[in-house]
Amino acid sequence: MENKRSAEPAGGMTPLIPANHKTGTGTGNRPSLWRRMTAQKHLQTMALLGVIWMIIFNYIPMYGIIIAFKDYNIVKSIAEAPWVGLTHFREFMEDENLVNVIKNTLGISLFKLVIGFPLPIIFALFLNEIRSVRFKKSIQTISYLPHFLSWVVLGGILATWLSDVGIINNILLALGLIDQPISYLAEPNYFRGIVITSDIWKELGWSAIIYLAAISGVSPEMYEAATIDGAGRFQKMWYVTLPAIKATISILFILAVSGVLNSNFDQILVLRNALNDSASNVIDYYVYYTGILSGRFSYSTAVGLLKSVIALILLLIANSVSKKINDTSLF
C-alpha cells in the first residue's frame, strides 16, 4: 500500500503514465536513439556530410602511413613495397641534421607559444574595455585584415619591407640606429624574430575572436557587483573576466601545446632561402624537402608519423594537467 501511495500525485489523482513506463526503447521518459535521430534528421544530415568528408579525406588516406615501415617508391604499389620495419626511424635519429631541425622547430614554436598565445587574450581584454562602438569596430577590422591575406602575399610584402632598400632599413637609417642597410632575410640570426613577429601580426586579431565571444557571455551582473565593491577596470578584468573565460583559455592552450612541433609551413617556405637555411630548416620543411624534393617518401612519412605521435603525447599530457589544475579538458 505504501508503494502505491508514493506513486500517486498530489490531490489523489491517478497518474496517466505509470512510474516504471518506458518510452520506446529508451530509459525512462527519454526517447530512443532512433526517434531522436528522426526528429533531428535535418541536423543529422548536415553532420553526416561532414563525417563523410572527414572519412574520405582524413581517415582513408591514413592507409598510406604504412609506407613509413616499407621501402616504397612510385614504381611499385604500396602493397608491393618490401617491409623494412623501423629502419627509417633509426635513420632519422642518426641524421646529422636532427639536432638543428629540432632546435629550430622548438625555438620558433615555443616562442610563438609563450609570446603569441597570451597576446590575443590581452588584446581581447583591452578591446572589450573600449566604450566607443565605432572605434572598437575599426580596431577589430584593422586587426583582422592580415589574417585574410595568404602567406604568399604577406611574404612578398615582408621581403620588400626587409630588403636593403626597404622601409625598415630606411627608417632605421633615418633615425641613425644603423650605419648601413641590413639584409634581414639573409641573416639567420634575424629569421626567428621575423617569423614570430610576422605570425603574431597576421593572427593576433583573428585569434582574439573566440576570446571576445567568450567574454560576451559573461553576465553583466558580475561586473555590476564588482563595481559596487569598488573594483576598477583592471580589477574587473583580473577578477571577473579572466576567471569567466578560464575554460576557453584552457582548451585553446591544450590545442596549442599539441601543435608545438608545427612551425607554420607556409610561412617558413615563403620566408626561407639558402642564406638563412641554418635557422629555417624546421621539421615541416625537412619533411617536404626529403619527401617531395628528394623523393624519399618512406623516410619523410616516418618523420611525419613520429612528429604526430609526439604531438599526441603532448596533447594527452596537456589535457591531463589542465584537467587536474582547472578541471577543464577536451576529454
DSSP per position, 146-187: GGGS-HHHHHHHHHHHTSTTSHHHHHHHHTTS-SS---GGG-
Alpha-carbon span 257 to 259, nearest angstrom: 5
Q: Which CATH class is domain 74-326?
A: mainly alpha
Are 200 and 110 a contacting pair, CB within 8 Å?
A: no
Contact status, residue 261 vs residue 308, Cβ threshold 8 Å:
no
Positive or negative, the CA dihedral 181, 186, 192, 198 is positive
Round to whole Å and give the CA distance between 196 and 111. Answer: 7
**What pLDDT is stored for residue 29 in this prediction?**
64
Q: Read off the C-alpha cell for 315.
A: 596533447
How far apart (Å, rounded) are the C-alpha atoms in residues 177 and 194? 18
Where exactly are the structural domains of the chain? 19-69, 74-326
Write phi, then psi, for 323 (nearest 5 degrees): -65, -35
Which bin fits 219, alpha (ψ -120 to 50), beta or left (φ > 0)?
Answer: beta
Q: Is the pTM of this model over 0.85?
A: no
pLDDT in single tens digits along all 331 residues of the chain: 444 444 444 444 444 444 444 444 444 566 788 888 888 888 888 989 999 999 999 899 999 999 999 999 888 889 899 999 999 999 999 999 999 999 999 999 999 999 999 999 999 999 998 988 899 999 999 999 999 999 999 999 999 999 999 999 999 999 999 899 999 999 999 999 999 999 999 999 999 999 999 999 999 899 999 999 898 889 999 999 999 999 999 999 999 999 999 888 999 999 999 999 999 999 999 999 999 889 899 999 999 999 999 999 999 999 999 999 888 888 8
